[in-house]
Amino acid sequence: MTRNKTKIAGTGSYLPERVMTNDDWAKLVDTSDEWITTRTGIKERHFAAEGEATSDMVTEAAKRAIEDANIKRDDIDLIIVATVSPDTAYPSAGNWTQKKLGLGPIPSFDLGAACSGFLYGVIIADSLIRTGMAKNVLVAGAEIMSRVINWEDRATCVLFGDGAGAAVLNAANEDGQGILSTYWGADGNLGDLLIQPAGGSAIPASRESVEKKLHTVHMKGNEVFKNAVLRMQEAAIKAIELANLTSNDIDLYIPHQANIRIIEATIKRAGIPREKTLINIDKIANISAATIPIGLDQARKQGRLKKGDTLLMSSFGAGFTWGGIVVKM
Ligand SMILES: CC(C)(COP(=O)(O)OP(=O)(O)OC[C@H]1O[C@@H](n2cnc3c(N)ncnc32)[C@H](O)[C@@H]1OP(=O)(O)O)[C@@H](O)C(=O)NCCC(=O)NCCS
Atom in ligand 1 nearest the alpha carbon of residue 36: 23
Whether 197 and 278 have beta carbons less than 8 Å apart is answered as no
Residues 119 and 25 in one domain: yes
Same domain, 218 and 198: yes
Q: What is the pLDDT of residue 4?
A: 80
Q: Whose CA is nearest to atom 18 of ligand 1?
A: 155
Q: Are residues 101 and 143 in the same domain?
A: yes
Active site residue 115: yes
Indicate whether 161 and 219 sit together in one domain: no
28 and 94 both lie in a single domain: yes
| Percent with pLDDT over 70 in the chain | 99
Residue 1 clears pLDDT 50, i.e. is over it: no
Task: Quote the CA–CA distance of 86 and 6 in Å, as a whole number.
Answer: 27
Note whether 8 and 177 are within 8 A (CB): no
11 lines ligand 1 (CB under 6 A): no
3 pLDDT band, cuts 50/70/90, is low
Is the CB of residue 317 below 6 angstroms from any atom belonging to ligand 1? yes
What is the pLDDT, as a whole number, of residue 125? 98
Average pLDDT value for the chain = 97
Give percent of the chain with pLDDT exceeding 90. 97
Q: Which ligand 1 atom sits nearest the alpha carbon of residue 317?
A: 48
pTM of the full predicted structure? 0.97
Q: Does a structural domain hold residue 55?
A: yes
Q: Are residues 123 and 220 in the same domain?
A: no
Indicate the residue among 120, 137, 171 that finishes a domain. Answer: 171
Exposed, middle or buried, 32 (CB in 10 Å: 0-12/13-18/19+)?
middle
In a domain, 1, yes or no: no
| CATH, residue 125 | 3.40.47.10
Residues 192 and 260 in one domain: yes
Q: pLDDT tens digit string along 254-288?
A: 999 999 999 999 999 999 999 999 999 999 999 99
Count up the domains in the chain and report the number. 2
100: containing domain: 6-171
Q: Compute the average pLDDT of residues 99-112.
A: 97
Active site residue 46: no
pLDDT of residue 47: 98
Name the residue at shortest CA distance from atom 31 of ligand 1.
155
